[in-house]
Amino acid sequence: MQLVDKLILLNRFLRFNKLHDIDYTDELNDHKKHWADQSKAFRDKKLYKEIDTILESIKSLNIQYKDIIKKIDVQIEQLLRKDENTIIARDYDMFSTLKPDLELQQTRESHLASDFVREISIDIGNYSDWKYPGLELNPSTGKLTRQMLACDPLYVYTGHVVDKDSVKDKFNTFFSEKRLLMYDDLDALPQGQFGTITNVLTYNFWPLDPIKDQLQKVIKLLRPGGYYIFTYNDCEYEPQIDFCNNFASYNTFTMMSGLVKMYGFDIIDSRCMNDTHSWMIVKRPGELKSIKSSGVFVQEGK
Grouping H, G, I as helix, E, B as strand and the rest as coil, residue 268 is strand
Q: Which residues contact 136 (CB under 8 A, 6 or more apart)?
A: 144, 145, 148, 154, 155, 156, 157, 197, 198, 199
- According to DSSP, residue 179 is labeled I
Grouping H, G, I as helix, E, B as strand and the rest as coil, residue 300 is coil
Residue 215's pLDDT is: 97
Cα 94–Cα 95–Cα 98 angle in degrees, nearest 5: 75
CA gyration radius, the chain: 27
- Give the separation between CA 257 and CA 253, rounded to whole angstroms: 6
> Of 139, 140, 138, 147, nearest to 119 (Cα)?
147
Q: Which residues contact 175 (CB under 8 A, 6 or more apart)?
A: 149, 154, 298
pLDDT values of the chain reduced to their tens digit, one per residue, 302 residues: 689 999 999 999 999 999 999 999 999 999 999 999 999 999 999 999 999 999 999 999 999 999 999 999 999 999 999 999 999 999 999 999 988 888 888 888 888 999 999 999 999 999 999 999 999 998 888 889 989 989 989 999 988 878 888 888 888 887 877 788 999 999 999 999 999 999 999 999 999 999 999 999 999 999 999 999 999 999 999 999 999 987 899 999 999 999 999 999 999 999 999 999 999 999 999 999 887 765 544 444 43
Beta bridge partners of 228: 197, 282
Beta bridge partners of 68: none
Contact present, 235 and 14 (Cβ < 8 Å): no
The amino acid occupying position 244 is C
Residue 1's pLDDT is: 63
